[in-house]
Amino acid sequence: MAVQKLRSGVIGRIARLIDFRIDERLRDLNGRVNDLEHATADHRRRLDGAESGLEHARGDLRWTRAELDRLIPSVAAQEAQLEDLRESLSLPVHADKPELAEARSLIQEIQRQHAQIRVRLAGIARYEDRLRRIEDRQRETIEQTQ
């Protein structure tokens, strides 16, 4: 009977020791799981923000592309007109003074329009560069959140 009592006491102590270690491990694991859940929620929030910003940049890029597609034919037509005028100017001129004055004013108008086209194209190029940088930043943000 004493041996049996001693055996049950030893078994009870061993069981409590094992239960204590298991409970300690479970608390540690629960803490880690909670930390991971919070980190995952934070990553989801940041990813949603990055995707929203990227979608905005995509919309800007679509608008820019549409504007560029709209402007390209006009620019091409004006360049063709400029080339036609250059060719006509390279021919020997047999004209009187009023015709020369009109030709000069036409040349000045063409040069003015050409300058305006260059300014517009430079603006488009700057805008596209800005969009590219925004997309790069968005891509980096998404990569950091993954």
- For residue 64, give the nearest of 130, 136, 140, 139 by alpha carbon: 130
For residue 57, count other CB atoms closer than 10 A to its CB: 20
- Position 105 scores a pLDDT of 87
| Mean pLDDT for back-to-back runs of 10 residues, the chain (146 residues) | 77 80 85 91 89 88 88 86 77 70 85 88 86 86 78
| Cα gap 123→120, rounded to integer Å | 5
Q: What is the pLDDT of residue 32?
A: 92
Three-state secondary structure along 22-64?
A: HHHHHHHHHHHHHHHHHHHHHHHHHHHHHHHHHHHHHHHHHHH
3-state helix, strand, coil in the chain (%, to 5): 95, 0, 5
- The model carries a pTM of 0.39
Tokens 């919309």 belong to 59
60 vs 130: CA distance, rounded Å: 10
Q: Could you tell me the CA-to-CA distances from 24 to 13, 21, 49, 121 in Å, in that order?
A: 16, 5, 38, 68
pLDDT given at position 33: 92
At 4 the pLDDT is 81
Q: How many residues does the structure list for the chain?
A: 146
Domain boundaries, the chain: 2-145
